[in-house]
Amino acid sequence: MCSSFSRGGIVLCLLLASSIGTFGAVIQLTDGMTYSNAAILQRDAENVQIQVHYGEIKVPISSVKSIDGVAVDQLTLPPAPSPETGNSATTDVAAAAMHPLPGPLGPTNSTTVGLAPAPPLRPAAIAPVKYVHNFKMDLFLLVFGVITAIWTGMLLWVQRDVAELFADAPREIKRWNAKVLLLPGLGLWWYLCARSAKIAQQEDVRAKSLSLSRAPASQATANPPVKRGLFSGRVKFSMPFRSKKKQVEFEFLDDDGKSIDIQRDSPEMTGIEAAHQVLQEAITERASDVHIDPQDKDYHVRFRIDGQLQERMVFEKVDGQRVVSSLKVLAQIDVAEKRKSQDGRFRVRTSLHDIDFRVATTYSMYGEKMVVRILDRKGGMLGLGDLGMPKPMMETFDRVIHSRSGIILATGPTGAGKTSTLYAGLGRLDTRHFNVMTVEDPVEYHLDGATQIPVRPKAGVTFESGLRSILRQDPDVIFVGEIRDSETATTAIRAALTGQLVFSSLHAQDALNTVVRMQQMGVETYQIASALLMVVAQRLVRVLCNKCREPYPASGTELLSLGLELPKGQTIYRAKGCATCDNTGYHGRTAIFELVVLDDELRRGISDGLNQQALADIARSKGWHSYREDGVTKILNGITTVEEVLQAG
Ligand SMILES: [Zn+2]
């Protein structure tokens, strides 16, 4: 009996010791947060996965300052997965890079962990990872061991006394045993619960302090930090907080610009605080879209930055649903309807400008998915010089937009910056002496002196009807956001032929393909030939991060793939990745252009019904360059990479 009693005590002690022993590493993040009792589960070139008391979190390497006192840039990182090394090699390296996990009450003074043999092509990874000894943890375990010994001794002592006192009542002995063993057990359980709650709360406070209170006091009054509702909006994992950029404060407006009275206590709005945080991060990070994707067990939030999706946050399933439902309320769409695709919009007002959000939901296997498109008019209109157009092209563009009548078209994929280019042109016009009218979906820029009409299908305002109403308003210059159907196409061409200058955009592969597209939309070739002034085609390419771009001599194959003859060995640049650019190697985007200005010969060619190839031959004989050629100039200037230009098409 005696032995069973003390055995129980020892088991409890061992349990506590092992739970602490496995959390040995001290991980410091760049934003000041420290995880003291963490265990490193896995580490690769980009992320460290660590286990803390309340769960696992994934931290990008760029956000880690040090591990056990060693600065992260002094730790040798295992290589990123590559076709040469294969996945298994990478896993071995990652496993070997794990922090040593000491056994229960075991010594923690293992200092060096060797890495598995490095893959042949990456000799840099052979160096062993060195960990600095954690003396604090040693001391803790020593004290813990002493307490355990004293406790075990006390248990034996109590056991002896009880056995003497209740020698004739074995049931009483059992009751005492239970009491003495259960009480410390309960205490231990309470301690661990309180501890994980405290860590979770610190994490929450950290998130709040970084995202909500960073703005100066003058701006903070625009939308005071929201009070805590039923839902704390705790993000399971979120790393945008590493950005030291100033967060924008804002208030929510409805589609008409009236302030929305947010019923924070209503059940649909319990996620508003987290939704606010998501949008704030997205704006700060220059995201163009926010994807809120339901998965099997949680919700993933991804931002589209410079055209690429990047995962930024993970919410618990229920919290993700709350965020989605709050955004639905803001966008004035039916919260109860979860199966039908819906769309809506809302606006936020910052101290500087308004930002429009367009929300679209769809039903999916694991729940409702939402995409929020951010239309940030912050930058305002770009000047002609800011577009990234080569100078001679810019001068031609500027000359043609000052024509009195005709149609100017921009073409390229969605989100390629067509509107920015056309607005840069509109901005050059004298809006005081011309009646400039636009119909757009949505209005992306504010143009002083112009009448801008947003498309509202529900109110009966479409591109076509908007354009027809503009024509009754004695316009000089008309901007039609997009020509999508034959009615709009023919109306726009007719306006261009009757003395108005029309700007519009159209989906086509390249500049000369627009002629074919116009014909397919039912516009007569003679009308195109006489109305069309100029076509700008553009694609976006990512701009190399100038902190980390890497020069190298161009190889023959690269130049061949671009179809160009250039001296082999010409220095060009490739993307590398650093903390400034979130390890992408790129920061921001620019456009590559091609410009076709119609002259008599091309007009004759169009009305004679020449095919695209024949038209291209004529254009080329006049010195026309494709956007790939503009792309090559940008590669040689170190603005972008070969991959980006090839990918642009
Ligand atoms: Zn960089």
Q: Distance, CA 584 to ligand 1 centroid (Å)?
A: 7
**Mean of the pLDDT values across residues 147-172?**
82
Report residue 71's pLDDT band, with 50, 70 and 90 as the boundaries: confident
Relative to beta strand 436-440, strand 451-454 is parallel
- Both structure tokens of 644: 């980006």
Own/partner contacts of 5-9, CB < 8 Å, gap of 24 or more, are 5/155, 5/156, 5/159, 5/177, 5/180, 5/181, 6/152, 6/155, 6/156, 6/159, 8/177, 8/181, 9/151, 9/152, 9/155, 9/180, 9/181, 9/184
Annotate 543-559 with DSSP letters as a single string: EEPTTT-EEEEPPHHHH
Q: Looking at residue 113, what is its pLDDT?
A: 34
380 half-sphere exposure, CB direction, 13 A CA radius: 7
Q: Distance, CA 544 to ligand 1 centroid (Å)?
A: 8
Q: Return d(Cα 538, Cα 390) in angstroms, integer.
A: 13
pLDDT over 80 (residue 260): no
Q: How far is CA 326 from the centre of its chain?
A: 20
Q: Distance, CA 74 to ligand 1 centroid (Å)?
A: 19
Listed range (387-401, 433-447, 559-573) with the worst mean pLDDT? 559-573
Q: Return d(Cα 111, Cα 116) in angstroms, integer.
A: 16
Q: Distance, CA 580 to ligand 1 centroid (Å)?
A: 5
* DSSP helix/strand/coil, 20: helix
**Mean of the pLDDT values across residues 189-203?**
66
Q: Return d(Cα 440, Cα 355) in angstroms, integer.
A: 16
- Residue 237: count other Cβ atoms within 10 Å of its Cβ: 17
Q: Which of 405, 580, 615 is nearest to 508 (CA)?
A: 615
pLDDT tens profile 108-119: 333 333 333 333
Q: Distance, CA 549 to ligand 1 centroid (Å)?
A: 7
Q: Compare 202 and 538 and report the one with higher pLDDT.
A: 538
**Mean of the pLDDT values across residues 188-192?**
80
Q: Looking at residue 5, what is its pLDDT?
A: 54
CATH number belonging to the domain at 217-376, selected among 3.30.450.90, 3.40.50.150, 3.40.50.300, 3.40.50.2300: 3.30.450.90
Q: Distance, CA 207 to ligand 1 centroid (Å)?
A: 25
Q: Distance, CA 583 to ligand 1 centroid (Å)?
A: 6
Contact between residue 260 and residue 348 where contact means Cβ atoms under 8 Å apart: no
**Mean of the pLDDT values across residues 381-398?**
89
Q: Distance, CA 500 to ligand 1 centroid (Å)?
A: 47
Omega prior to 475 cis, within 30 of 0: no
Q: Looking at residue 602, what is its pLDDT?
A: 95
Q: Looking at residue 391, what is its pLDDT?
A: 92
Contact between residue 103 and residue 19 where contact means Cβ atoms under 8 Å apart: no
Report residue 229's pLDDT band, with 50, 70 and 90 as the boundaries: very low
Q: Distance, CA 93 to ligand 1 centroid (Å)?
A: 26
pLDDT over 90 (residue 405): yes
Q: Compare 360 and 19 and report the one with higher pLDDT.
A: 360
Q: Looking at residue 26, what is its pLDDT?
A: 72
Listed range (180-184, 316-320, 574-578) with the worst mean pLDDT? 180-184
- Residue 620: count other Cβ atoms within 10 Å of its Cβ: 11
Most confident of 151-155, 223-227, 465-469, 554-558: 465-469
Could you say which DSSP state residue 325 is in?
H
Q: Looking at residue 40, what is its pLDDT?
A: 74
Q: Distance, CA 640 to ligand 1 centroid (Å)?
A: 13
Q: Looking at residue 148, what is its pLDDT?
A: 85
> Hey, CA dihedral for 101, 107, 110, 111, is it positive or negative?
positive
* DSSP helix/strand/coil, 85: coil
Q: Looking at residue 217, what is its pLDDT?
A: 30
pLDDT over 80 (residue 79): no
pLDDT tens profile 295-307: 999 999 999 998 8
Report residue 253's pLDDT band, with 50, 70 and 90 as the boundaries: confident
Q: Looking at residue 517, what is its pLDDT?
A: 94
Could you say which DSSP state residue 122 is in?
-
Domain 384-540+590-624 carries which CATH code? 3.40.50.300
Listed range (31-35, 209-213, 602-606) with the worst mean pLDDT? 209-213
pLDDT tens profile 414-470: 888 899 999 999 999 998 999 999 999 888 888 889 999 999 888 899 999 999 999
Q: Looking at residue 12, what is its pLDDT?
A: 57
pLDDT over 50 (residue 139): yes
**Mean of the pLDDT values across residues 362-382?**
84
Helix (H) or strand (E) holding 188: helix 170-211
Q: Distance, CA 639 to ligand 1 centroid (Å)?
A: 13
Query: Amino acid identity, residue 52?
Result: V
Q: How many residues does the chain have?
A: 649
Q: Distance, CA 644 to ligand 1 centroid (Å)?
A: 16
Q: Distance, CA 419 to ligand 1 centroid (Å)?
A: 29
Q: Distance, CA 272 to ligand 1 centroid (Å)?
A: 34
Percent of the chain with pLDDT over 70: 74
**Mean of the pLDDT values across residues 381-385?**
82
Q: Distance, CA 647 to ligand 1 centroid (Å)?
A: 20
Work out the mean pLDDT of the chain and round it to a whole number: 77
Listed range (87-91, 324-328, 354-358, 487-491) with the worst mean pLDDT? 87-91
Q: How far is CA 3 from the centre of its chain?
A: 60
Write down the domain spans for the chain. Answer: 1-211, 217-376, 384-540+590-624
Q: Which of 65, 129, 56, 117 is nearest to 92 (CA)?
A: 117
Q: Looking at residue 356, what is its pLDDT?
A: 86
Q: Do domains 217-376 and 384-540+590-624 have the same CATH topology?
A: no
Q: Distance, CA 585 to ligand 1 centroid (Å)?
A: 5
pLDDT tens profile 492-549: 999 999 999 999 999 998 899 999 999 999 999 999 999 999 999 999 999 999 999 9
The number of helix segments (H) and strand segments (E) in the chain equals 18, 25
Q: Compare 228 and 14 and report the one with higher pLDDT.
A: 14
- Residue 291: count other Cβ atoms within 10 Å of its Cβ: 17
pLDDT over 50 (residue 78): no
Q: Distance, CA 224 to ligand 1 centroid (Å)?
A: 35
Q: Looking at residue 119, what is its pLDDT?
A: 35
Most confident of 3-12, 127-136, 160-169, 639-648: 639-648
Q: Which of 532, 519, 522, 518 is nearest to 602 (CA)?
A: 532
Q: Looking at residue 118, what is its pLDDT?
A: 33
